[in-house]
Amino acid sequence: MAEAKSPARPAERPLSPHLQIYSLTWTMAMSVIHRATGIALYAGTLLLAYWLVSLAAGPAAYAIAQDVFGSVIGRVVLFGYTWALLHHMAGGIRHFVWDLGYGFDYKSRMGLARGTLIASGILTIVIWVIGLSVG
């Protein structure tokens, strides 16, 4: 007859893994960053809405918004928003590749994770260089 487990006698099976057992990997870090950029996009979308409302409110309100976004802090925030947007997009493409059934071996997972970070950084810089040279 099987014995019932009591609190004094715990089950003899491994407990669910937790953060103290796992070591941080590229794919784990990109997963966390993907979620963080998704959250950051909410705040950035509020800034975009503010800019659009100021545009509709008239020249005085638009001038204030342009001053805010044209300041050093404003440009740093916009640069971060651009990177978050592009990183989240690259992470979405990485997940799409996985949804198609590809990229599950170790080398592909690492390449996709690193590629997500590298591509988002390069694309952000390219967009800002183009934007600053045109504007």
CATH number, position 97 = 1.20.1300.10
Residue 7 has pLDDT above 70, yes or no: no
Residue 91 has pLDDT above 90, yes or no: yes
Joined together, the tokens standing for residue 107 give 């080398």
Q: Is residue 18 part of a domain?
A: no
pLDDT value for 25: 86
What CA–CA distance (Å, rounded) separates 101 from 36? 25
18 marked as part of a ligand binding site: no
Residue 81 has pLDDT above 80, yes or no: yes
Q: Is residue 91 part of a domain?
A: yes
Signed CA dihedral, 103, 113, 84, 125: sign only:
negative
Question: Mean pLDDT over residues 54-69, rounded?
Answer: 97
Residue 1 has pLDDT above 70, yes or no: no
Q: Number of folded domains in the chain?
A: 1
Question: What is the tens place of the pLDDT at every residue in 26-41?
Answer: 888 999 999 999 999 9
Q: Is residue 19 part of a domain?
A: no
pTM assigned to the model: 0.80
The larger pLDDT score, comparing residue 1 to residue 25, is at 25
Q: Is residue 63 part of a domain?
A: yes
Q: Is residue 71 part of a domain?
A: yes
- One-letter amino acid of 60: A
- Residue 31 sits in which domain range? 26-134
Residue 65 has pLDDT above 90, yes or no: yes
CA nearest to 64, candidates 80, 51, 78, 77: 51
Whole-number percent of the chain with pLDDT over 70:
85
The larger pLDDT score, comparing residue 68 to residue 23, is at 68
